[in-house]
């Protein structure tokens, strides 16, 4: 079967000598007819030349600007009947062969018996061919990254239904604070990390530069030694959203934020001074008036 798809309103991404086309939205129905194990057999040709399937789902690349793209979609074999596995078992109730309609009618009552007695007879189905014609509007960019961070783009109205091009327009990445909360929780010496009122409240417990210990006497059991630690509390004004003129720029800013805030926590995890106990001054009589956090 051959059909024609009109995607003249779509775009092509041009990057490093490749012309990258998104072949997905228009062919969803055809792709749905392909069983998962055969989807890798889908092929695409640009003006008769084989195209390369890219890692980003739905994207294919050519080495030139295409005027026509042909997509070949393999279809599953069609069941045309059923045959009795053991000829000696043939009877009025169980004939040597059944049409699909007869099999389905009998299957309502004897589904286990039929599946054990009959085998399907299948025939190949010609692949479906879809022809896509140009032209496409070139955009100088690469395909969108699949890194788990959705890009919320501020799109021109003409592109609101084109999610495959969102990454090329101004917008924002969301969820930085929650992302950092998980990273910081897993860092050494971090006792707590809470997302609270637009900030990350972090509690770090670090040992002294020269290890010291004290004895603990539990209500039951033998007493034991515990290492002396100094508690540091941080309140980090981490933004939840990272804007950018395009997704790639925002990803770079996102990575810079992650590096900065994890670096702040890492610096707070430095071992504390034995003399000042991490306060920056030697304890004196005034410490009894220190504000308790």
Give the residue extent of every domain in the chain: 2-75+126-142, 78-123, 144-283
Comparing 158 with 202, which gets the higher pLDDT? Answer: 202
pTM of the entire structure? 0.46
Contact 13, 65 (CB under 8 A): no
3-state secondary structure of 287: helix
Nearest to 176 by CA among 244, 113, 117, 89: 244
Q: Any idea what the Cα angle at residue 286 is, between residues 281 and 290, rounded to 5°?
A: 80
**For the segment 134-155, what is each residue's pLDDT rounded down to a tens digit?**
778 787 766 666 666 766 655 5
Contact 248, 255 (CB under 8 A): no
Cα separation, 278 vs 205, whole angstroms: 11
Q: How high is the pLDDT of residue 113?
A: 80
Given the candidates 1.20.1530, 3.40.50, 2.60.40, 3.30.470, the CATH classification of the domain at 2-75+126-142 is: 2.60.40
Instruction: Say whether pLDDT at 21 is over 90.
Output: no
281-290 burial: b if 16+ Cβ within 10 Å, else e: eeeeeeeeee
Looking at residues 178-206, what average pLDDT do you find?
A: 90
Cα–Cα distances in angstroms (integers) from residue 38 to residues 33, 75, 121, 176, 279, in the given order: 10, 8, 19, 38, 65
Instruction: Say whether pLDDT at 17 is over 70.
Output: yes
**For the segment 101-120, what is each residue's pLDDT rounded down to a tens digit?**
888 887 776 667 888 889 99
Q: How high is the pLDDT of residue 131?
A: 85
Q: How high is the pLDDT of residue 176?
A: 93
Looking at residues 127-131, what average pLDDT do you find?
A: 85
Instruction: Say whether pLDDT at 216 is over 60.
Output: yes
Q: How high is the pLDDT of residue 55?
A: 78
pLDDT band at 240 (very low <50, low <70, confident <90, very high): very high
Comparing 168 with 276, which gets the higher pLDDT? Answer: 168
């Amino acid at each position: 079967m051959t059909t024609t798809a009109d995607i003249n309103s779509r775009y092509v991404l041009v990057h490093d000598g490749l012309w990258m086309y998104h072949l997905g939205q228009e062919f969803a129905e055809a792709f749905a007819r392909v069983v998962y194990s055969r989807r890798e057999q889908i092929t695409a040709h640009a003006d008769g030349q084989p195209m390369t399937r890219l890692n980003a789902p739905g994207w294919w690349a050519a080495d030139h600007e295409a005027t026509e793209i042909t997509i070949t979609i393999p279809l599953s074999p069609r069941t045309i009947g059923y045959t009795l596995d053991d000829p000696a078992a043939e009877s009025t109730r169980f004939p040597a062969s059944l049409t699909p309609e007869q099999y389905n009618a009998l299957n309502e009552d004897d589904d286990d018996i039929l599946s054990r007695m009959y085998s399907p007879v299948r025939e190949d189905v010609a692949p479906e061919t879809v022809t896509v014609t140009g032209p496409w509007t070139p955009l100088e960019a690469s395909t969108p990254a699949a890194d788990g961070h959705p890009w919320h783009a501020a799109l021109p109205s003409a592109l609101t239904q084109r999610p495959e091009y969102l990454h090329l327009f101004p917008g924002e990445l969301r969820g930085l604070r929650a992302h950092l909360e998980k990273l910081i929780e897993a860092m050494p010496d971090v006792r707590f990390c809470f997302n609270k009122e637009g900030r990350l409240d972090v509690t770090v417990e670090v040992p002294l530069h020269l290890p010291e210990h004290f004895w603990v006497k539990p209500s039951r059991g033998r007493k034991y030694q515990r290492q002396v630690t100094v508690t540091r509390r941080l309140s980090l004004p981490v933004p939840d959203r990272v804007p950018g003129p395009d997704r790639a720029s925002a990803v770079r800013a996102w990575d810079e934020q992650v590096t900065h805030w994890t670096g702040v926590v890492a610096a707070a995890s430095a071992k504390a001074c034995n003399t000042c106990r991490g306060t920056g001054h030697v304890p004196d009589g005034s410490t009894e008036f220190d504000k308790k956090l």
